[in-house]
């Protein structure tokens, strides 16, 4: 039994429906694949900690020295642009930072380093100098674009960026932000699994 399968078997249900268990397996398998690539791990938009708990479990199982950082406004979604459609509005998805921390306390896991604020407003110095794995779950065009702007240039060659809701019909701004940012970059979508797009840094 490999490590990812072991974690999923031990924790077959997530704490919210935002990311399903099949998606979680995909996320963890990609994180595992970059375990030997230099750099830390970042998650932009962590909500209550659904994905974060599993990422922490894998890093712990690997006894990894990679530092895990999460970023969230803890104020919900920002103002949507016209390109984002009307499925979600400003303030949706709001969870308190204390709720995120409580998720880790309840699971008896070490909390990642938390950076509170809108992604673009968090200083560059609070993002790792080198990143091997990034998970973007910002839902709106501006959030995904800001995620790329903060993280892309710090990705190690071979590092992986996963973008949630890339094919979400109700969140069209996600794909549009990816396409816009990467239009003059060499990276293209390597894979799409249940709406999660995978990009590998060249």
- In tens digits, what is the pLDDT along the chain, a chain of 202 residues? 599 999 999 999 999 999 999 999 999 999 999 999 999 999 999 999 999 999 999 999 999 999 999 999 999 999 999 999 989 999 999 999 999 999 999 999 999 999 999 999 999 999 999 999 999 999 999 999 999 999 999 999 999 999 999 987 799 999 999 999 999 999 999 999 999 999 999 9
Smallest CA-to-CA distance from 72 within 103, 94, 104, 40 is with 94
| CA–CA separation, 88 and 147 (whole Å) | 19
pTM (predicted TM-score): 0.97
pLDDT at 1: 59
With left for phi above 0 and alpha for psi between -120 and 50, is residue 91 left, alpha or beta? Answer: left
CB-CB contact of 44 with 136 (8 Å): yes
Name residues whose C-beta falls within 8 Å of residue 188's C-beta, 6 or more positions apart in sequence: 182, 199
52, containing H or E segment: helix 50-61
Question: What is the pLDDT at residue 165?
Answer: 96
**Do 166 and 136 meet the contact criterion of CB atoms below 8 Å apart?**
no
Residue position matching structure tokens 């509170």: 116
The pLDDT score that the predictor gives to residue 64 is 98
Is-contact 70 52, C-beta < 8 A?
A: yes
What pLDDT score was predicted for residue 10?
97
Cβ burial, residue 112 (10 Å; 0-12/13-18/19+): buried
> Nearest CA to 160 among 36, 49, 61, 16?
36
């Amino acid at each position: 039994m490999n490590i990812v399968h072991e974690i999923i078997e031990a924790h077959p249900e997530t704490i919210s429906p935002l990311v399903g268990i099949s998606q979680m397996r995909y996320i963890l398998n990609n994180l595992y694949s970059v375990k030997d690539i230099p750099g830390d791990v970042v998650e932009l938009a962590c909500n209550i900690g659904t994905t974060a708990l599993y990422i922490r479990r894998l890093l712990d199982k690997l006894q990894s020295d990679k530092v895990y950082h999460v970023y969230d406004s803890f104020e919900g979604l920002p103002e949507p642009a016209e390109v984002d459609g009307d499925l979600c509005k400003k303030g949706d998805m709001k969870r308190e930072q204390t709720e995120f921390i409580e998720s880790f306390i309840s699971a008896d896991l070490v909390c990642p380093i938390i950076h509170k604020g809108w992604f673009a407003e968090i200083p560059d110095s609070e993002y790792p100098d080198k990143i091997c794995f990034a998970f973007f779950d910002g839902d709106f065009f501006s959030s995904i674009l800001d995620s790329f702007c903060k993280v892309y240039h710090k990705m190690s060659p071979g590092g992986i960026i996963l973008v949630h809701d890339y094919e979400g019909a109700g969140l069209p701004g996600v794909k549009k932000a990816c396409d816009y940012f990467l239009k003059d970059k060499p990276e293209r979508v390597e894979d799409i699994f249940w709406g999660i797009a995978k990009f590998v840094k060249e």
